[in-house]
């Protein structure tokens, strides 16, 4: 039976690259599918040209080409990423880490409801956290660029999600805006203190997980998701 050669495999990678597949694991999936489909065509017609067989198989993906495959894979990996976030968050609902969350909530609640100008103090604390998170994001991006220079292949999809935690950066100023709103338009009471305390604690936890905890476990997470990476390190 006629088989796809190594040079033709390279052509399939090039073909997926030309059709805007930006993730190595998605490329692997598509290359494997295309190679098997071309070999099936050769079973019926061994003389069929490789490029002809490739174009015929590509047409089966429809008008949008590989877009639907990429989107499906993105949805699956985003779900996995959110599961990783939730797993880390659940650890903070257990002793002893839950004490950290409770302390953060009580500090926020007390500053909002009990202390004169406490809201302004809290805004200052949040501004310090914004600076800290921004520095961490910059450091993570610098490390990503260094790793990309060392590797010639495209990144894995889950790797991209772990690295581009800056997508949450747009929400960093949300807690500060809400606190500014308190100082101008909201009558402070116990319920406002509880709501804002929970919100601020939750937002801070999300950023800590995405910018510190998950990037720290990057290699472990990727090796679990992509067993071939684990084999490469042995």
Give the start-to-end residue ranges of the domains of the chain: 6-65, 76-233
Residue environment code for 37-73, b if the CB has 16+ CB neighbours within 10 A, otherwise e: bbeebbeeeeeeebeebbeebbeebeeeebeebbeeb
Judge contact between 16 and 30, C-beta under 8 A: yes
Number of Cβ within 10 Å of residue 88's Cβ equals 19
Cα–Cα distance, 97 to 202 (Å, whole number): 14
Cα–Cα distance, 195 to 186 (Å, whole number): 13
Q: Please name the helix (run of DSSP H) or strand (run of DSSP E) that holds residue 189, with its range, or none.
A: none
Residue-level pLDDT at 84: 93
CA dihedral 163, 100, 108, 217 (to 10 degrees): 0
Residue-level pLDDT at 228: 74
**96 preceded by cis ω (within 30°)?**
yes
pTM: 0.80
Cα–Cα distance, 157 to 29 (Å, whole number): 12
Q: Is 117 left (phi over 0), alpha (psi -120 to 50) or beta?
A: left
* Per-residue confidence in pLDDT tens, the chain, 234 aa: 688 999 999 999 999 999 989 899 999 999 999 999 999 999 999 889 999 999 999 999 988 889 999 999 999 999 999 999 999 999 999 989 999 999 999 998 998 888 878 888 888 888 888 788 778 777 777 777 777 677 667 888 888 888 766 455 555 566 666 666 666 555 677 888 888 888 888 888 888 888 888 888 888 998 888 887 765 544
Residues 6+ apart with CB under 8 A from 85: 206, 209, 210, 214
Residue-level pLDDT at 69: 92
């Amino acid at each position: 039976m006629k088989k796809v050669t190594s040079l033709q495999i390279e052509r399939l990678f090039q073909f997926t690259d030309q059709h805007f597949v930006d993730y190595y694991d998605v490329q692997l999936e598509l290359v494997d599918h295309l190679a098997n489909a071309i070999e099936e065509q050769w079973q019926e017609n061994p003389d069929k040209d490789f490029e002809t067989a490739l174009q015929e198989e590509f047409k089966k993906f429809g008008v949008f080409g590989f877009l639907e495959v990429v989107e499906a894979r993105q949805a699956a990996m985003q779900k996995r990423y959110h599961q990783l976030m939730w797993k880390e968050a659940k650890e903070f609902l257990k002793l002893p880490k839950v004490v950290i969350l409770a302390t953060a909530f009580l500090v926020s609640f007390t500053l909002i409801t009990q202390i004169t100008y406490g809201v302004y103090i809290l805004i200052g604390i949040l501004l310090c956290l914004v600076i800290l998170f921004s520095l961490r994001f910059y450091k993570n991006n610098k490390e990503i660029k260094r790793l990309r220079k060392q590797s010639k292949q495209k990144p894995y999809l889950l790797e991209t999600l772990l690295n581009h935690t800056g997508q949450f950066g747009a929400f960093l100023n949300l807690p500060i805006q809400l606190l500014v709103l308190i100082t101008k338009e909201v009558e402070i009471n116990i319920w406002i203190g509880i709501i804002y305390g929970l919100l601020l604690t939750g937002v801070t936890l999300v950023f800590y997980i995405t910018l510190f905890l998950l990037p720290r476990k990057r290699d472990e997470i990727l090796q679990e998701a992509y067993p071939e990476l684990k084999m490469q390190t042995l």
